[in-house]
Each structure stands twice: as structure tokens, then as C-alpha cells.
Amino acid sequence: MKVTTRFAPSPTGRVHVGNLRAALHNWLYARQQGGRFLLRIDDTDRERSEERFVDAIRADLGWLGLDWDGEARQSERFALYEARFEQLRAAGRVYPCFETPQELELKRKVQLGRGLPPVYDRAALTRGDAERARLEAEGQRPHWRFKLDHDAPIEWDDLVRGPQRFDPTLMSDPVIRRADGSWLYHLPSVIDDIDLGITHVVRGEDHVSNTAAQVQMFEALGAKPPAFAHEALLTGAEGKLSKRLGATDVDHWRETGVEPLALAAKLARIGTSLPVEPVASTAPLIERFDFATFGRAPARFDEAELAKLNAQTVHLLSFAQVADRLPAGMDARAWEAVRPNLERVSDAAEWWHVIEGPIAAEIGLEDRDYLHTAAEAAARIDWSADPWHALTGALKDTTGRKGKPLFLPLRRALTGLDHGPDMAVLLPLIGRERALERLQAAAG
């Protein structure tokens, strides 16, 4: 069967960095295996789901460079859920429950007080048909649970966590449908995974207990469960789960100048034995993706490290990759000249201003005569080849200066700064006329 993965966000808010990591890993594996990556919008919660968040999910995935091969929306699949629900009901694998939330909470407190696990006691199964009919006649609507099979342990070989084993007698039968008829996460997700042919599910380790219940749902519907990979959760730099990090959406990364490739490189590799390193495309991330490299320890996400990785990524980007974000008139030669000095692509605008001018240079009195000589030398040299070395060579012979006293006043006069790109590549961009004007102005 062709490898098929999916990303299944709920459109009740923005996608944060942990969601993006799961989406990326599903995409990387599908692309590596020549398979399919699907987007499933889990919008069964009609009250909280908003179309603006659906649009934002698509935009955020697109920004990260993730494309998908098909899209499904749970709100359009209710008839399928109803049919499968009736199939389970006929098989005795779902049952109605009439306890109120308050009654269930009281039961849990009593069990905990006795030192027992707070597992649902299946009291609803003791109600006869007549009692159920009476309760419904009184206006009470039941919620529905999936009846776990207690005869055998639940087992699967997780692609990250290894062999998993759960005792179903220590688990509560999961609620799959509310009293108002709306669906909870468990059953629709299983039905969709079967119907869409999902072969692999990559998600956070906080879903492990959900998977245990869902394995039996797959089997009850006559389907083989997909392969599961439960990856360790992200932590902040402070070493614990970060609320701020969990609330950070794509707009934050976009607004702070983080490159999608930098974030992808970070999320693809943190928590694995592979090095986090800059890439110019997703090809290396796809090629080396391997569940065997995933660790069990929480993955540390450090924004300072991301900033460093971002600068390294910018230094790899071609002109074609950034052309639409550069100042008007900035060409490939200028981009390649300033690129090694950038932390963000947007910083290129500052260097383009240095090239185009006007600039303000602060020059000490002790360097003014030197710069006057430099202006005269600049007027005589050949600008068609390597004007910077021609200029500094002439000045070294004329003035006897070398090192910092030779180079720094020139850089300051020509750019207004004491640092920056290699002057050998920058000076030709500034050009003869602007260079002469700047040296003459600096000489007073």
C-alpha cells in the first residue's frame, strides 16, 4: 500500500510550533517514500471552528513549504461517521450512558480517595432497555462510549517508542459522542484514517493513550491500524514545557524574519541524533529523515539557536529565492555581496542603502588628508577590474599606511560604517562616481 500520512489540525486557533513539527514530519516521511500527504481539517466542533483558522492553517503550511496531495473536512463526513457508528452499535461495541458530568466527577473522586485508578465502572451497561427508554422519555439524552475489549492487552510496535502494551482493564471506555449528538475526536479520526487509506500517523507522545483506545476501534471496524510514531514533545530553552512557545504561531516567526527553511531544518532535526544544520532546500531533510534517529527525551527548542541557524540559512539562499523580498534595483551581484553579513533577508535593505546612499560618515581630523589623497588615487585607478585592491595598493605605496590605518578610514568614508561586507565586492557596487563623492566629502 502506498505510504499515506496526514496532518489533522482543528481550526479553533492558530497552528503553533509543535503542530508544525508534526505536520513537517508527516510530510517529510511521505515525500521520502514517494507517498501522499493529506490535510484533514478536524472541524467537528462547530461552535469553536472558524473559517479564518482554516485559511490560516493552509497559509501557514504553505509558508513552511509543505504541499498536500488532498484535503478532507470532517464537517462534510458526518454521514460516514453515522454509518460506522451504527455498525459498531449493532456489534455491541458502543453503548449509551446517562451519567451527568457531576456524577462522573464524583465517581472519580471516590475512586481516587480509595487509591484506585479513576476508570469508568461501566455502570451504564447494567441498565436495561426499559430503564433507558424511561430516561429518554424523561428527556435525558445519552452520551456514547466505545466498549473496550478486556480479553487481551493492546499492543503495537511504535516507530519511535518501540513496543507498547496497555491493559484495557485499566482504561476507561472512551466517550466518542456527546449527548447532543456531536462527535469527539476518537472515532471520527479512526474512520477517516481507514477511509483515506492512512498508513502512518506521526504525532506527539501525548496521544499515546488515545492510540491505545483507537487501536481497538480500527480492529472493531475490521481495519488494520496504521503504523504509529509518537514523538517526544517540545520544551522551551528553560527546560520545561513553555506556554509561550506553545502559543507562538507562524506570524511570530514570519514577523521576526525567520526563514521557513531555517524553521524546517530546526523542527526536522531537534530531538533526533541528526545534526541541526542550515539547508538551502528541503531535499536533505527528506533524504535523511529516519524514525530510528528519534529520541525519547523531550526536544529542546531554543529560539537563540534558531536565530543563529536562520543567519546561516540566509547565507545559503540564492538570489532567485529572495528576489521578491529585496529592495527595488538590488540585483544578484549586490545580494551575493551583502549576503554573508545578514541575519535576516530584510537586513539587505540596510546594505542597499549603504550602496545607493546617501550616507553620513564621521571622520577624524587625522584622516582627512589621507582621504584627500585617497580621492585623488581613486580618480586615477582602473575601475574595470578590482578597484579596491588597486586603490589600497596605490595608497600603501603613497602613504606607507598598512593594516587598519590603511583600510578603516576608507571603509568608514565609503560606507559610513566600521564593518560590513568585503570591500573588494562592495566597492564596485558603490561605483566610481559615488566613491569619489564620498571620499571627497570625507576629506572635507
Binding residue numbers for ATP: 243
Side-chain half-sphere exposure of 416, counting CA atoms within 13 A: 17
Closest CA to 233 of 6, 405, 18, 10: 18
Identity of the residue numbered 193: D
Buried b (16+ CB within 10 A) or exposed e, 338-350: bbebbebbebbee
Residue stretches of the annotated binding site: 243
Rounded CA-CA distance 401/398 in Å is: 8
Q: DSSP labels for 233-244?
A: PEE-TTSS--HH
Taking a C-beta distance cutoff of 8 angstroms, is the pair 160, 294 a contact?
yes
Sort strands 162-166 and 175-177 into parallel, antiparallel or unpaired. unpaired
Contact 176, 186 (CB under 8 A): yes
Residues in the chain: 444
> Which of 322, 353, 170 minimizes the C-alpha distance to 260?
322
